Amino acid sequence: MPVRFIKSELSVSYLSNFNDYRENPDQSTINQYLATSFKTELPRGLGITLNNRFEDTEQPPTFDYIYGELIQRIRRKSNNFSTTVNLPQYFARFATDLHYSNSDNTYEGYVGANYNEQKIGTLLTYKLFTKLYTLTEFNIGRTSYETDVLNSVFYESLIGIQFKETAKTTGSFKIGYRVRDYENEDLEQFQGVVLSLESKTQLTALTNISVLLRKSQEEALFTVDRNFYELNSIYLTLGRKLTSKIDANISNYYQLLDFPAIREGESDIKYLTIGFRGSVDYKIQKWLSTNLSYWYDDRTSSSENLGRKKNVIAFTIGAAF
């Protein structure tokens, strides 16, 4: 809703998700999400955005983006706060913002796994053409655990481009270098390239294709003696509007996780995951919709007994008020 007298907007949303298992009632779960956002624009181009999202969920703690999964699910509570300050645009083609985020994560039944991560940084963009921008980003942060064993600080610098509706494509590409220093000198330190590519192209009025490419370093939880893993992944999604009420999506993804060895004579542990997902959404009414999806996931591992396959068929009906 708009806030009167100032150019601002406030939003609040709440979502509950109920999973009920008749044959295994002990596996039933209730997930809850509460999100708030406040945006305001002040004179001379100064803008401030505040976001906060609280989640009370039961899902794998190392659940990666869309489909990644390393261990069995566990109850997790997390609170994520972020703020962005858009500085006044003193120069016609330059724009600058400052951003800060604070994430608290609590895992039920795992002493020492709870952690807090803070990040602060700046982003400078330069307008090359009407719809094309270059960007430079620098971030520093700290990750703190209850037991202090895995505490670390990280630094990263990135460059890239943003394209807005250029040739019907929107998205961004960023590449840079990250350094993560662990306070415990016995742990493996990380230095390496990180990159991301996110784009969506409207092929026709009814068809679009999305690409997500990532190379990053992620913290590893509940793993013995391996404090992080390197992630390389690509997701391809083709979307098609079949009728005014029916949408279909087909996704294919590849994901490689590499846990570096930390002792001489040990080998890296690698996971290769190949997956496919198809879904159809049907909008029954303005407030009522259904979804039918199929998900196939095949993970192989360089270590014995860590591979697995999944076949999931799901039907969902949802209402929004």
For residue 43 the two structure tokens come to 């004179």
Of 47-51, 289-293, 310-314, least confident by mean pLDDT is: 310-314
Q: Does 70 have pLDDT greater than 60? A: no
Residues 220-246: what's their mean pLDDT?
A: 85
pLDDT value for 168 = 84
For residue 1 the two structure tokens come to 């809703």
Q: Which residue has the higher pLDDT, 89 or 145?
A: 145
In percent, how much of the chain has pLDDT > 70?
90
Residue 240 identity: R
Confidence of residue 265 (pLDDT cuts 50, 70, 90): confident
- Alpha carbon distance 207, 178 (integer Å): 36
What are the CA-CA distances from residue 91 to residues 96, 124, 131 (Å)? 10, 12, 17
Of 60-64, 136-140, 145-149, 316-320, least confident by mean pLDDT is: 60-64
Q: Does 69 have pLDDT greater than 70? A: no
Place of tokens 């963009």: 125
Angle at 216 between CA 157 and CA 110, to 5 degrees: 115
Residue 12 identity: V
Confidence of residue 318 (pLDDT cuts 50, 70, 90): confident
Residues 258-263: what's their mean pLDDT?
A: 78
Which of 55-69, 84-98, 228-242, 298-312 is predicted most confidently?
Answer: 228-242
Name the β-bridge partners of 17. Answer: 31
Angle at 167 between CA 85 and CA 174, to 5 degrees: 45
47-85 CB burial, b ≥16 within 10 A, e <16: bebebbbbbbbbebbbebeebbbbeeebbbeebbbbbbe
pTM, to two decimals: 0.77
Element (H, E) at 158: strand 152-166
- Condensed to tens digits (0 to 9), the pLDDT of residues 132-188 reads 899 999 999 999 988 887 899 999 999 999 987 666 889 999 999 999 998 888 777
- Condensed to tens digits (0 to 9), the pLDDT of residues 285-295 reads 888 999 999 98
3-state helix, strand, coil in the chain (%, to 5): 0, 70, 30
247-278 CB burial, b ≥16 within 10 A, e <16: bebebebebebebbeeeeeeeebbbbbebebe
pLDDT value for 119 = 96
Domain 2-319 has CATH 2.40.170.20: yes
- Condensed to tens digits (0 to 9), the pLDDT of residues 200-214 reads 999 988 999 999 999
Q: Does 264 have pLDDT greater than 80? A: no
Residues 225-249: what's their mean pLDDT?
A: 90
Domain-wise residue ranges, the chain:
2-319
Q: Does 189 have pLDDT greater than 90? A: no
